[in-house]
């Protein structure tokens, strides 16, 4: 089974990214043939600083390695190193409806936030994401809940391509975790935790110092009630339960039971300590790995070479089916 996912090198990675996605990447190494891509070309779709982009790319690489990605057991690479992604993106635009892209909620949300320019790159973003996935004949895509619509679009694009040009692409399925697929902002639990939209005090970064993590979680917004229950009218408490369940690999009901009769404060302290213990080893490894950029670069370029071999075969097949370029010589 082929597993593929992508992650943006924007800003600092947070607990939502970690629980919703990064830990599924690590688990994927034991479940199949796993490929992970740091999507620097997606990051240029909104305003950014070129020097930051390179820095964040290394930050993200080091975070993924610290979390447990092993370049000997998976492929880890930088999107822009494998030009097949952009080529396939264009080819797939031919079977993508303009109306579909217009309906993407992430496009609507992100374009509303742009101050100067709503770039065409932001509009085509989901097609590049589909190309990332389809280039590897991916079966399964581990993502958080916010990527559901993009994976659905990817499926539509693959199906439309296959109908129009003959069976070529694998139609992938998402792997969205049952618990922790949508971690919410601790200070505004009606919004998802995110680098761009959420509040700084409500976002736990993977690299936050333990003291900062404790403070953020202990000051999480809850409600005026007393009952510890996972319910729609208790988004703050539900979020803490969800974080705890994900970290302890338990069902939400089990965590609810463990805290039956406890006070909100007890839950906050327990979650804060659990998150600190969970992230501390990642942060320690990160501090060791991050300074050696030459080593990070080596890992990324070796990954790109392996990725390119797979992607170039798919792109050649797609072009042939579409009648683009010369007829390939058959052996
Ligand atoms: P990105 O970089 O925004 O997020 C990386 C992963 O983290 C998940 N995530 C969350 N999970 C739980 N709770 C949250 N609050 C939370 N916030 C983010 C995301 O769902 C994602 O899985 N478009 C993608 C990158 C991408 C991609 C791909 C993903 C590009 N090509 C191909 C899969 C396959 C993105 O912006 O992720």
pLDDT beyond 60 at 331:
no
The tens digit of pLDDT for each residue in 6-42 reads 999 976 899 999 999 999 999 999 999 999 999 999 9
Domain assignment present for 302: yes
pLDDT beyond 80 at 73:
yes
Nearest CA to ligand 1 atom 36: 8
Nearest CA to ligand 1 atom 5: 7
pLDDT computed for residue 139 by the predictor = 98
Decide the pairing of beta strands 33-38 and 173-175.
unpaired
pLDDT computed for residue 10 by the predictor = 78
b/e 162-180 (16+ beta carbons within 10 angstroms → b): beebeebbbebebbbbebb
Residue 297 vs residue 197, higher pLDDT: 297
Q: Backbone dihedral region of 261: left (phi > 0), alpha (psi from -120 to 50 degrees) or beta?
A: left
Q: What are phi and psi of 46, to 5 degrees?
A: -125, 170
Any ligand 1 atom below 6 A from CB of 239? no
Any ligand 1 atom below 6 A from CB of 60? no
CATH of the domain at 271: 1.10.240.10
Per-residue pLDDT averaged across 35-63, rounded?
96
Mean pLDDT for all residues in the chain: 95
Instruction: State whether 279 and 318 are in the same domain.
Output: no
CATH of the domain at 11: 3.40.50.620
Nearest CA to ligand 1 atom 18: 17
**Among 143, 172, 175, which residue has the most ligand 1 atoms within 8 Å of its CB, making it the best to mutate?**
143
Instruction: State whether 224 and 163 are in the same domain.
Output: no
pLDDT band at residue 105 under the 50/70/90 scheme: very high
Q: Determine the 3-state secondary structure of 214 from DSSP.
A: helix
pLDDT computed for residue 199 by the predictor = 76
CA distances from 96 to 131, 184, 257 (A): 11, 32, 47
Instruction: State whether 304 and 244 are in the same domain.
Output: no
Domain assignment present for 198: no
Helices (H) and strands (E) in the chain, counts: 14, 5
The Cα 266–Cα 272 span in angstroms is 10
Q: Which of 26-35, 197-206, 270-279 has the lowest mean pLDDT?
A: 197-206
Instruction: State whether 176 and 161 are in the same domain.
Output: yes
Question: How many domains are there within the chain?
Answer: 2
Per-residue pLDDT averaged across 88-98, rounded?
98
**Among 53, 144, 176, 307, which residue has the most ligand 1 atoms within 8 Å of its CB, making it the best to mutate?**
144
pLDDT band at residue 197 under the 50/70/90 scheme: low
Any ligand 1 atom below 6 A from CB of 63? no
pLDDT computed for residue 11 by the predictor = 64
CA 143 to ligand 1 center in whole angstroms: 6
How many CB atoms lie under 10 A from the CB of residue 208?
A: 20
Domain assignment present for 135: yes
The tens digit of pLDDT for each residue in 216-274 reads 999 999 988 999 999 999 999 999 999 999 999 999 999 999 999 999 999 999 999 99
Any ligand 1 atom below 6 A from CB of 6? yes
């Amino acid at each position: 089974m082929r597993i593929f996912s992508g992650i943006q090198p924007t800003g600092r990675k947070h607990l939502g990214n970690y629980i919703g996605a990064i830990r599924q990447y690590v688990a994927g190494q034991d479940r199949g043939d796993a490929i992970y891509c740091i999507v620097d070309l997606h990051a240029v779709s909104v305003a950014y600083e070129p020097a930051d982009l390179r820095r964040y790319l290394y930050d993200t690489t080091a975070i993924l390695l610290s979390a447990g990605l092993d370049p000997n057991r998976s492929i880890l690479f930088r999107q822009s190193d494998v030009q097949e992604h952009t080529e396939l993106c264009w080819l797939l635009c031919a079977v993508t409806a303009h109306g579909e892209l217009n309906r993407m909620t992430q496009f609507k949300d992100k374009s509303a936030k742009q101050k100067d320019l709503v770039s065409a790159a932001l509009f085509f973003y989901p097609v590049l994401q589909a190309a990332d996935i389809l280039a590897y004949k991916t079966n399964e895509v581990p993502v958080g809940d916010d990527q559901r619509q993009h994976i659905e679009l990817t499926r539509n694009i693959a199906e439309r391509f296959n109908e129009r040009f003959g069976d070529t692409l694998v139609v992938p399925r998402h792997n969205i975790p049952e618990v922790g697929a949508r971690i919410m902002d601790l200070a505004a639990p009606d919004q998802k935790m995110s680098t761009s939209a959420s509040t700084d005090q409500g976002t736990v970064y993977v690299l936050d110092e333990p003291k900062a993590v404790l403070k953020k979680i202990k000051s999480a917004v809850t409600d005026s009630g007393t009952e510890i229950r996972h319910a729609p009218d208790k988004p703050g408490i539900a979020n803490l339960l969800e974080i705890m369940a994900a970290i302890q690999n338990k069902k939400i009901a089990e965590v609810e039971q463990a805290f039956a009769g406890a006070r909100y404060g007890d839950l906050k302290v327990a979650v804060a300590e659990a998150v600190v213990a969970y992230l501390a080893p990642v942060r320690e490894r990160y501090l060791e790995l991050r300074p050696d950029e030459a080593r990070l670069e080596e890992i990324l370029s070796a990954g790109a070479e392996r990725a390119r071999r797979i992607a170039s075969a798919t792109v050649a097949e797609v072009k042939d089916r579409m009648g683009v370029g010369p007829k390939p010589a058959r052996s």
